[in-house]
Each structure stands twice: as structure tokens, then as C-alpha cells.
Amino acid sequence: MTMADITIGVTIAYILYQALSTIPAKKSETTPWSLSEHEHTENKQSSGFSGIGKKFAFGQWFLKNARYRNRLELLLIRSGHPFQWTIEDLFFFKIVSLFITVLLFWLYGMNDSLFWIGGIVVGFQFLDFYLSIKGKNRLGEIEIRLPGFIDLLTLTIEGGLDLMAAIERIIEKMKPGPLREELLMISQETRLGTPRKEALEHWVYRTNLPDIQSLTSMIIQSEELGTSLATVLRNYADDMRSRRITKAEEIAGKAPVKLLFPMVVFFFPVVFVIIFGPVAMSVMSATASK
């Protein structure tokens, strides 16, 4: 057994010991964009591993870096808090993923330093990649459902309801999904005393979607200037449809160019073989008979 093996074994034992210890986690400060995080998730079924990261002393020390902590929290928020993990839980399972990778490399006798460096990076960042992809899919679903929500919001406001009352009425009729979760967070933040402008700004930060940023800016400006919100939303909905039609036309226009290479490489050779194959075989047979 080499010194590297001993070092890896001792490190794994120490991390597992700290993970199972009863050292309480230091209570983290709540960031502005997750004021209603507890209320948002309390009615959901919790994962069996939720909260395990709070016993991880090394993670508590590492997460004192505010920038890194906020980056992990933003990953969880934009991905919809899968498995109901906290930031501490996410970091704990990142360490678990790292040591599983190290253990596999150790068992299979990997000696190349480049493999070790790449494996350590991939093992530690694997959950970040997973949450990033899940977050993009979630935000994509929000973007798809946003035009329908704006139409409903316009109709309810034209019916005489206030903005927040209209949002709450729409929430009651919506199917469960990412957009409904975000609207619930806005509603809960305003109920907890957060000004409407700040709640909308938190929504922009959580999603980071241009359409939502434009929508919230128009709502805030409409309230500050005293203009009709229903008219503003109606014009914005029409503009959004025009932009989506233009984008769809651009994508359709690029499709023939993207299909050209697969057709040349995969389709045309097969067609040539089918058309000219029998002719070539006939010519070869005639030549051979002579």
C-alpha cells in the first residue's frame, strides 16, 4: 500500500466521520430571493436524505465563502430544489460523488495523473452539471407557459382585480409546474411584507429570463407612472407573440442549412447506391462475360 493510498483512505475516513458527527450547522443568513423558501417547500414530500448536510462540519467551514454559497443556492433555486436539498445537503453529496470517483479510480488501479485530475473535477462538479441542466429545462418550461399566463393576467386585471389578487386567482386554476411555483413564491413574499417591487425583482433574479425581466419592468413602470396595467400587458402579450413568430421563422429558415450536411453524408450515398448499383452490377457482369 503506497502513501497515496493511505492518504486517500485517511481522508475518506475523516470525511465520513465528520458527516456522521452531531456537530450542529451554523444557521445561514437568508438571501433576499429565498425569503419564502421554507414556506414554498414545506408542503412537499421531503427526501429521506434532506438535512444530512447540516451534520457535515467540513461543509460548514467550506460554505463560509459567501460567493460560493450563493452560487450553490442559485443552482438549487433555478432547478426547483430537487430532493428538497439545502445548500449543506448539496455540498455533502458533492463530496460523496467526489469520493466515489476517487474510490473507483483507486479500485481500478488508475495511475495516470491526468485521469485523477479529470476524475476529481468531474466527480466534484457532477451535481452542478445535473442541476444546471435541470434548471435550464425548468426555465424553458416557464418560458413556454409565460404567454398564456400573461393573457390570463390581462383578462383578470381587465375584470377589475388587483395585480396580486389576479395572480392568486390564476394560481388556484393552474396545474402544478415551475411557473406556478414561482408565482406562489411571489404571493408568499408579498404576504410576508415584502414590497411588490422587490418581490418582482426577486422573481427576475431567480429566473434570469429576458421575457420576465421585461414583464416585471413594465409592471413596475406602470405602477410608478399610473398607466393602465391591463393595456400595458395586452400590448406586451402581442409583442411577445410577434417576437416568438419571428424567432420560429428564423429557426425554420436555418433548418435547410442544418439538414444539408446529414443529407450529403448519409442520404445521398444511399440513393446513389440504390439508383446506380444495379447499373454498375450489370456493366460488371457484361464485362466479365466477355
The pLDDT value recorded for residue 124 is: 84
Residue 108 lies in a domain: yes
Q: Are residues 147 and 94 in the same domain?
A: no
Q: Are residues 9 and 130 in the same domain?
A: yes
Residue 270 lies in a domain: no
- pLDDT mean for each 10 residues of the chain (290 residues): 50 48 40 45 49 63 79 90 86 87 79 74 88 93 90 89 91 91 93 91 92 90 84 84 82 82 79 81 76
The pLDDT value recorded for residue 201 is: 92
**Residue that is last in its domain, among 117, 135, 153:** 135
Task: Say how many domains are in the chain.
Answer: 2
Distant-in-sequence, close-in-space partners of 36: CB < 8 Å, separation ≥ 6: 184, 185, 188, 189, 192
Q: Are residues 227 and 147 in the same domain?
A: yes
Q: Domain of 239: which CATH number?
A: 1.20.81
Residue 274 lies in a domain: no
Q: Are residues 98 and 168 in the same domain?
A: no
Question: Under a CB-based contact definition with an 8 Å cutoff, are residues 40 and 181 in contact?
Answer: yes
Distant-in-sequence, close-in-space partners of 228: CB < 8 Å, separation ≥ 6: 222
Q: Are residues 105 and 181 in the same domain?
A: no
Q: Are residues 11 and 127 in the same domain?
A: yes
The pLDDT value recorded for residue 181 is: 93
Residue 269 lies in a domain: no
Q: Are residues 211 and 120 in the same domain?
A: no
Residue 272 lies in a domain: no
**Residue that is last in its domain, among 218, 243, 268:** 243
Q: Are residues 13 and 86 in the same domain?
A: yes
What is the domain extent for residue 169?
140-243
**Residue that is last in its domain, among 114, 135, 156:** 135
Helices (H), the chain: 3-19, 37-41, 57-62, 66-78, 87-107, 113-158, 163-173, 178-191, 196-207, 210-225, 229-262, 268-289
